[in-house]
Amino acid sequence: MLPVKEALSIILAEVRPLESETVDTLSALGRVLAEDITAARPNPPWDNSAMDGYALRSEDARQASKDSPAALRVIYDLPAGSTPRGPVNKGEAVRIMTGAPVPDGADAVVMVEKTEARGETVLVFEAIRPGANVRKSGEDFASGDMVIREGTVIRPAEVLMLATTGKAAVCVKKRPVAAVLSTGDELVDIETVPSPGKITNSNGYGLCALVKDSGAEAVNLGIAPDTRQGLMDKLTEAVKYDCIITSGGVSVGDYDFVKDVLKEMGSEMRFWKVAMKPGKPLAFGVIGGRPAFGLPGNPISSMVAFEQFVRPALLKMAGRKDIYRRTFPAILTAPIKKKPGRVNFLRGSLTITDEGFLVKPLEGQGSGMISTMVQANAFIIAPEGVSALEEGEVVHVQPFDATVLQAVTPGY
């Protein structure tokens, strides 16, 4: 049996990042930046006020205090969005709003709460140092600064930065479009009530959801029958997309034709028994430069195989470098028994506590047990060689969604 890591590295060696496209800045959220972003202007663009108050020359109020305020002549009002009407000379002040440009001559702003207006005069009750409450031009970034590098994943912070630099559209890596095909004569579509012997095509939905959850686009091609011709027809459609994902028909059953048909279609097919549980049978090939994954039919097997092999491949195609789920140690809250020889990806419920990460292995680890997948938020990675893990032992976990980082109370 092929070790999981080897299967993964063979797969990833065949997968390349897609080309780039230009999209509007908000649509770039979650995508990988395909250009360096250099600021065409500084931020802030000019020295501006951090407070509502009075712009003044700090030397005029250096000694000011509650008992001995400085009295300055207010020469005009300066709201945000306006430009100064003239410089501030000795003994003068300008009523200024947050964000307005600091007039020439002024080098500080006193907040309005520390002043009192008396007609044309303002009294300043606080000692002012040079630069007080002034945001300096370029203190965030200067014109010509590289503010985001190519390869960065665009988060809300990057969108904010792009907007600040005036970038309305941006060059990003394309998102892969993956076709999902479910094979099996037993399958009926979700709208059909299954007759005896039939089951609903769960995997088509589960795998499309996983594709979307990976930031890629999913095309559900529905069900292909367990015949060579039927598979051929559907796979001919599937190979038009960036990535081909099938479920079922890859084991050693009499009707498991997926790998044969993909081979007939010109794919250099590899078929492995991967040393993992669930998800042992796996077919992988490349058709016209596009990766094709033949995942096992059992719903949990297909999900686990997707998580370990397809998701990293889709992220690589999308230009990501951080393509793996982070794994980390957690304390096991119940024992686990397993057979040595295969890595087990056990469904677990992971919680973050003040004592650290705790993970509970769930009852019902069969590859058709969808209810435990629903309760789980992480895989417990039980290594190939071991046959038992004890309660209290430290194991590695691989959370597969962000719910573990969410809470029902704010925590502060």
Nearest to 380 by CA among 341, 338, 342, 350: 350
Distances (CA, A) of 374 to 171, 303, 388: 37, 12, 25
Binding partner selected for residue 140 from Mg ion, ligand AMP, none, CB under the kind-specific 5 to 8 Å limit = none
Question: What is the C-alpha separation between 182 and 217, in angstroms, rounded?
Answer: 17
State the minimum distance, in angstroms, from the CB of residue 332 to ligand AMP: 29
Task: Give backbone dihedrals phi and psi of 404, rounded to 5 degrees, phi first.
Answer: -65, -20
- Give residues in contact with ligand AMP (CB under 6 A): 182, 184, 186-187, 199, 201-204, 247-249, 251, 253, 296-299
User: Of ligand AMP, Mg ion, none, which one does residue 137 interact with (CB within 5 to 8 Å by kind)?
Assistant: none
Q: Is 294 in the site for Mg ion (CB under 5 A)?
A: no
Question: Which of ligand AMP, Mg ion, none does residue 251 bind to, with CB < 5 to 8 Å depending on kind?
Answer: ligand AMP
* Contact string (CB under 5 A) for Mg ion, positions 233-272, x = contact: ---------------xx-----------------------
Q: Residue 204 binds what, of ligand AMP, Mg ion, none (CB under 5 to 8 Å, by partner type)? A: ligand AMP
Residue type, 344: N
The single-letter code of the amino acid at 299 is: P
What is residue 139's three-state secondary structure?
Answer: coil
Stretch of residues binding Mg ion (CB under 5 A), selected from 98-106, 270-278, 296-304, 369-377: 296-304
Distance CA 228, CA 224 (A): 10
Q: For residue 245, give the 3-state DSSP assignment.
A: strand
| 8 or 207: CB nearest ligand AMP | 207
In this structure, are residues 224 and 319 in contact, taking their beta carbons and an 8 Å threshold? no
Residues 216, 222, 227, 231, CA torsion sign: negative
| Residue 190 to residue 187: CA distance in whole angstroms | 9
| Contact stretch for Mg ion (CB under 5 A) within 239-247, 297-305, 321-329, 361-369 | 297-305
184 binds Mg ion (CB under 5 A): yes
187 binds, among ligand AMP, Mg ion, none (CB under 5 to 8 A by kind): ligand AMP
Residues that bind Mg ion (CB under 5 A): 184, 248-249, 297
